[in-house]
Amino acid sequence: MHIGIVGGIGPAATDHYYRGLIAAAAEKGFTLELTMVHAEAPTLIKNQAAGDAAAQAAVFLRLAERLQAAGADVTVITSIAGHFCIEDLKRISPLPVIDMIEEVDRDLEQRSLERVGVLGTRMAMETGLYGRIRAARLLAPAGDELDAVHDAYAAMAAAGKVTPDQREVFLAASRRLIEEQGAEAIMLGGTDLALVFDGTDYGFDIIDCARIHVEAIARRAAGSPL
């Protein structure tokens, strides 16, 4: 299967997906066939802040058409922020879209978790990943901390690297979600959070949305049903 990847939003997230798919292909024994196109992070951020799902879906449509012309069989958005318009995109895309949020919801159902803290952009946190997670209750940071997490995430995603101060913002928010709101795990509701939660054991369970998505793409590429 020829995978069409929409990357660039942000660069670290794209690299995370690329490396993950290379590793999955080696592990599962399939040949990785992949074409990548670039979407602009500032455009996505502007459209998400305005709540303009149709405008962002139109951007992704043009890229999906380019991927189709290159021979791709499916398309993938390598950004949780980009999934705010995924339902709009799925209605108009010339290619099937492997939907991250559907895969994450399925994973949460299998884990039987009830309360999960979420980090990411303001919209992803406030809406509980755009109102599409049903298997568990998603808890967001409160008050000024929500703004601090959003600002730290946006800066990190644009730069493709995390600073010590940004890391502490995410870790402090995670600890409060667990200790004060009763979260059983922390969901990485922004793809670039892989820069922070890079396998280090911080003493709490992690729900890595990007990893779940990569595994779903790899299963499809290896010929297994989603």
Tens of pLDDT, residue by residue over 23-54, are 999 999 999 999 999 999 889 989 998 999 99
Number of H helices, E strands in the chain: 9, 7
Cα(168)–Cα(160) distance, rounded to whole angstroms?
17
Q: Are residues 108 and 142 in the same domain?
A: yes
Higher pLDDT, 196 or 198: 196
Percent of the chain with pLDDT over 70: 99
Cα(110)–Cα(105) distance, rounded to whole angstroms?
9
Looking at the domain assignment, is residue 203 inside a domain?
A: yes
Degrees, nearest 5: CA angle 135-139-140? 135
Tens of pLDDT, residue by residue over 54-109, are 999 999 999 999 999 999 999 999 999 899 999 999 999 999 999 999 999 999 99
Q: Are residues 81 and 155 in the same domain?
A: no
Q: Are residues 138 and 194 in the same domain?
A: yes
Nearest to 113 by CA among 183, 40, 181: 183
Q: Are residues 95 and 129 in the same domain?
A: no
- Residue 160 identity: G
Tens of pLDDT, residue by residue over 85-94, are 999 999 999 9
Which domain covers residue 55, as residue numbers?
2-100+211-221
pLDDT band at 224; cut points 50, 70, 90: low
The stretch 156-160 carries a mean pLDDT of: 86
Looking at the domain assignment, is residue 226 inside a domain?
A: no
Q: Are residues 83 and 181 in the same domain?
A: no
Cα(60)–Cα(54) distance, rounded to whole angstroms?
10
Q: Is residue 88 within 8 Å of residue 53, measured between CB atoms?
A: yes
Q: Are residues 122 and 145 in the same domain?
A: yes
Residues 6+ apart with CB under 8 A from 75: 4, 5, 6, 60, 63, 64, 67, 93, 95, 96, 97, 98
Cα(195)–Cα(198) distance, rounded to whole angstroms?
6
Cα(76)–Cα(79) distance, rounded to whole angstroms?
9
pTM > 0.85 = yes
Number of structural domains (the chain) is 2
CATH number at residue 191: 3.40.50.1860
Tens of pLDDT, residue by residue over 124-149, are 999 999 999 999 999 999 999 999 99
- Output the average pLDDT for the chain: 93
